[in-house]
Structure 1
C-alpha cells in the first residue's frame, strides 16, 4: 500500500489540519503579523457562518425543532451529559496537563456535533439521514448560544475570562453572518447548495485559518515544550475515555429512549461526534491565540479519533453493507 493510497483514505479536513499544524510549527505568525492574521481569521470565520446560514433551509430547522422526542434528549446528551464528562476529565487532567490543555477537555465536552461527518456516517450506517442533518444543524445553532456561557459557568469566569466583549464578538462574527445567510437564502441559498465542493473547501479553509492563527500563538508560547511526552500520553488516554463515553453513552441513551434503529443511529453519530468547525472559530473568537491553540489540542485529537472510529462502526451497524 503506497503513501498516496494511505493519504487518500484520510478525511480531507484532517489532512488540511495536519498540514496547518505543521506550518504553524515551522512558520508561526508572530510580531506585528498577529494583528493582521487575527483580522483574516475573523473574516474567514464570518464567511464560514455566512455559508452555514445560506445552505441550511429554515424549513429543516423548524421541522427538527418539532421532533422533540428525538431532539430534546439529544440536546441534553450533547451539552449536559457530555459537558459533565468533560468537567470530570478536566478535573483529572488538571493534575498532569498544562492548565489550558486540561480546560480544553471541558471545552470539548460542551461543543455541538459535527454536521457533515455525523450525517455521512449516519447514512453509511443506514440511519435516519434527515434526522441526522437537522439534529446536527440545530445543535450547531444552539452551540453558538450555549457553549460559551456554559464554559464560563462550569469553569468559572475567572478561569475562562469570558466577558461582554467576548459575547459581542460571538454575536458579531458567528451569529450575525448566520442570520444574514438565513435572510439571504432566497437569492443565494440555491447557488451555495449547487456548488457544494467549492463551499466545502471554503469551510475547510476558514477552519484551517482559525487553527493556524491559534496554533501560531501556542507555538510562540512554547507549545511543544510545555506538552511533553507524558502529557501527550495522558491526553490521548483521556480523549480515549471521552470517546468511550460519547459513543457508548449515546448508543445506550438511544436504546433507553426506545428510538427506532434509524433514529438511534442518527442519535449516536450526532450525539457522540464533536465539531471542530465550531470549536476552532469559537476558541479563536473568545481567547487570544496562545490560549486558543492549547485549548484546541483535545478537540483536534478527538476529531481525528472520532473519524477513525466512526467509519468501521458505521460499516458494522449497516444491516446491508455495500460490496
Structure 2
C-alpha cells in the first residue's frame, strides 16, 4: 500500500503551521501570497485543459454523465445522510468538512494512472477527470452555498462570488490564452509541476496557521479522528462498490467500468484545498482535514484494486463484458501509467 510522498509533505506543512503559525503582518503576507497562488494554479489548469480533447470526449457522453452523477449527486447524498452522525460521532466542523469532501470534483492524474494500471479505458478517464474538474469550479461552490451556507462557520454566499473571481476567471483566462502559452507550459511542465504543489502547500499552511491562531484544534480529539476515518472508509467502500456494479447494471464493458470506478469514487485534493480556502476562509483548516485523510485512503485502496484488475483475464472480442468492439479507441496499449 503506497504512502503518497505529497501527503507526507502536506502533513509536514500542517506540523509547521502548528509549531510556527503565521500571525500579524506575516499572516497578511502569507494570505496574499496564497490568494495569488490559487489564482495562478487555476490559470494553469485552464491552460492545460485541451478544448479539442474535451470536445472529442463528449462522444462517450453516457460514461461522463455517469461519473458526474457519482461525483456531484451520489456523493453529496451520502454526505447529507451523514448528518445523523453529528454530534455523537462527528463534531459540527468535522461533519462540515466531510460534507464539503463529498462536493468537490474528481481527480485527474490518479484516476488516469489507476485506470491505466488496471487496463481500463484511459481516454475516457482523461476526459472524465477533466470534465469533473471543469464542472466542479461552478457546481462545487453552488452546492456548498446550498448545503453549507446556513450552517458553516465563516461560510457565506459571498464566497461564491469570491470563487468566481479567484478560480473561474483565472481558469477561463487560461483557456483563452492557451493558444499562445500552452506550448510554453507543456515544454516546462517539469518546472511548473512543483509550482502546482507548492501553491497547494502554501494554501494548507495559510489555512492551518489561521486555525492555530483561533485555537480550533481544541475541538478535535483522537476519538473524533478515529470516528472520521471509520466514516470515510465506509463511504469509500460504498462508492467503489456502486461505481463498479452500477456500471455493469448500466451496460458498460469492463474497460469503461474501470474508468467509472476510479474516476467516480475519488475526490480531488488539488481542487478541493484551494476551494476550501476561498469558501471557508479562516475556518478552512478543519474543513480540509477530512479531504486530506480521504485522499490518502483512496490512493492506498485504489492502488490495490488496480493491481488486482490488471491480473483479470483479457475478455474475448465481442464478449458481453468486453468493450473493445464497442469503442475502438480503447484498443491502444495501456500498460503504462500516464502522468
Q: What is the TM-score of this pair, normalised by structure 1? A: 0.91
The CA distance in 1 between the partners of 2:23 and 2:91, in whole Å, is: 22
The CA distance in 1 between the partners of 2:257 and 2:195, in whole Å, is: 32
Alignment CA distance shift 1:130-1:204 (3 Å) = same
- Unaligned 5+ runs, structure 1: 1-5
Write the deviation string for residues 271-291 of structure 1: whole angstroms up to 9, x where unpaired: 0110111111001111222x1
1:80 aligns with 2:80: no
Native 8 Å contact 2:280 2:287 kept in 1: no
Displacement after TM superposition at 1:93 (Å) = 3.9
Give the aligned partner of residue 171 of structure 2: 178
SS in structure 1 of the partner of residue 152 of structure 2: helix
Give 1 or 2 for the bigger CA radius of gyration.
Answer: 2
Alignment CA distance shift 1:53-1:178 (3 Å) = same
Alignment map for 1:242-281 (pairs within 5 Å): 242-281=235-274
1:146 aligns with 2:139: yes
Give the aligned partner of residue 53 of structure 2: 60
- Unaligned 5+ runs, structure 2: 314-334
The CA distance in 1 between the partners of 2:5 and 2:272, in whole Å, is: 18
Write the deviation string for residues 211-266 of structure 1: whole angstroms up to 9, x where unpaired: 11111122223344321111111111111111112212211221111211111111
Moved over 4 A (4+): 160-164
> In proportion to residue count, which structure has more helix?
1
SS in structure 1 of the partner of residue 31 of structure 2: helix
Give the aligned partner of residue 32 of structure 2: 39
Aligned length: 314
Alignment CA distance shift 1:256-1:18 (3 Å) = same
Write the deviation string for residues 102-121 of structure 1: whole angstroms up to 9, x where unpaired: 11111011111111111111
The CA distance in 1 between the partners of 2:268 and 2:97, in whole Å, is: 13
Give the aligned partner of residue 295 of structure 1: 287
Give the aligned partner of residue 70 of structure 1: 63
SS in structure 1 of the partner of residue 90 of structure 2: coil
Give the aligned partner of residue 306 of structure 2: 314
Q: What is the TM-score of this pair, normalised by structure 2? A: 0.87
Give the aligned partner of residue 165 of structure 1: 158
